[in-house]
Structure 1
Amino acid sequence: MIHELRIYHCLPGRLPRLLQRFQDHTLRIWDRFGIRQAGFWTVAVGPSNHALYYLLAWESLAERGTKWDAFRADPEWLRVAAESERDGPILERVENLILQPTAFSAVK
């Protein structure tokens, strides 16, 4: 199992719009492609409350490549993304990390 940590740094005031897009559209579209989320978090205490952190679970990097590419090219996703940003961009930047568990990790 491979876990991918994605951190979406939003422009000020735009995090609610990103959360709405995930809740109303993105997760449903992911389900069609078999993209599995392992959790979503926002920051309650920390240096910035303008970010969304989430984990995706993949069987392999090959699965990730195939499913992620298909999702990013999906016409419904492209429409939803464009509509959600019609009032301006949501994201300042995105961080993406493929995590490797340690020998003593409870999650493998």
Structure 2
Amino acid sequence: MKLLHIQRVTLCLIFLWLASTLQGFGAAPKRDFYQLKIYHLQNKDQEARLDKYLHQAYLPALHRAGIAKVGVFKPIAATDAAAPVPTEQLIFVFVPFSSGEQFLKLDSDLEKDKQYQTSAQDYLNAPFDNPVYSRIETVLMNAFTGMPNFHLPALKSGPNERVYELRSYEGATEKLHLNKVAQFNNAEINIFKRLNFNTVFCGQVVAGSKMPNLMYLSTFENTADQEAHWKAFGADPEWVKLKAMPEYANNMLRMDKYMLHPASYSDI
């Protein structure tokens, strides 16, 4: 019996050693879970109040909750005099969570955060006839398997010069949408990496107003750099070959593009 016990203990130790040794070997890395909040604002007063809330209350609270980097982005003003004047201002807040569980826990963390509750008074207790925003959109995403974690851009220019390009690709059907995701995972992400697009994230939308959908954010030093990168992408032999493959035909129905720059207090 004693020998049998020793054998069982030995087998358990061997199993535990193998499990620890093989952990992560050949296994898919853990994927981030993303929230993109889009604030719709009516005037400069709302923008100033929201900036104050994000800068002094929300981002510090997220940092205390274990989310080290949060992105805040604003549309780049159009330089074309003929461009239509926007009827509202948008502010995009990108929050990368390590998991869906961390996202679900955030509201509870904020309720318990006394410093946040004090700093966010104007936002939390705004009267109905003087709100900080007109509405909020929320988009939830799983990171792509081909880019399971977000990346900080390696840029040298100042925040006002930088161009952050947020793209949204809708598919005509769920099947075609998954085909476009596969195209990214199988090759397109690698082309972006090779051409140094400084992509922050690629996410498959699991909940949002536009579905089926994927979104990604690429970053550039300035407008000229952004244009040069896309010119190089369009002429890249691997992309030319990829887009001509019949298995990837018609996998994108509609694209929305937002040209952004980071807020002065953005972490990303």
TM-score in terms of structure 1 length:
0.84
Cα distance in 2 between the residues matched to 1:86 and 1:33: 24
Query: Could you tell me which of 49, 64, 80 is aligned with 2:211?
Result: 49
Q: Structure 2 regions of 5+ residues with no counterpart? A: 1-161
Cα distance in 1 between the residues matched to 2:195 and 2:236: 10
1:40 to partner: Cα distance: 1.5
Cα distance in 2 between the residues matched to 1:70 and 1:87: 21
Query: Could you tell me which of 8, 11, 16 is aligned with 2:178?
Result: 16
Q: Which residue of 2 aligns with 1:102?
A: 263
What SS does structure 1 have at the residue aligned with 2:200? strand
Cα distance in 2 between the residues matched to 1:103 and 1:32: 29
**Greater RCO, 1 or 2 (C-alpha within 8 Å, sep 6+):** 1
Pairing 1:79-90 to 2, within 5 Å after superposition: 79-83=241-245, 85-86=246-247, 88-90=249-251
Q: Which residue of 2 aligns with 1:7?
A: 168
What SS does structure 1 have at the residue aligned with 2:258? strand
Cα distance in 2 between the residues matched to 1:28 and 1:41: 15
Cα distance in 1 between the residues matched to 2:223 and 2:243: 25
- Per-residue CA deviation, residues 49-88 of structure 1 (Å, 9 max, x unaligned), is 31111100111111111111111111220111111x4464
Q: Say if 2:245 is the partner of 1:58.
A: no
Root mean square deviation, CA, Å: 1.8
Query: Could you tell me which of 67, 92, 102 is aligned with 2:229?
Result: 67
Look at both structures and tell me which one has the larger radius of gyration over its CA atoms. Answer: 2
Cα distance in 2 between the residues matched to 1:5 and 1:90: 19
What SS does structure 2 have at the residue aligned with 1:34? coil
Cα distance in 1 between the residues matched to 2:195 and 2:177: 25
Query: Could you tell me which of 21, 26, 29 is aligned with 2:188?
Result: 26
The structure whose residues are more often strand, as a share, is 1
Q: Which residue of 2 aligns with 1:78?
A: 240
Q: Which residue of 2 aligns with 1:92?
A: 253
Cα distance in 1 between the residues matched to 2:185 and 2:228: 23
What SS does structure 2 have at the residue aligned with 1:37? coil
Cα distance in 1 between the residues matched to 2:239 and 2:166: 20
User: How many residues align structurally?
Assistant: 106
Closer, same or farther: CA 59–46 of 1 in aligned 2, 3 Å: same
TM-score in terms of structure 2 length:
0.37
Closer, same or farther: CA 102–29 of 1 in aligned 2, 3 Å: closer
Identity of aligned residues (%): 25
Would you say the 8 A contact 1:42–1:49 is kept in 2? no
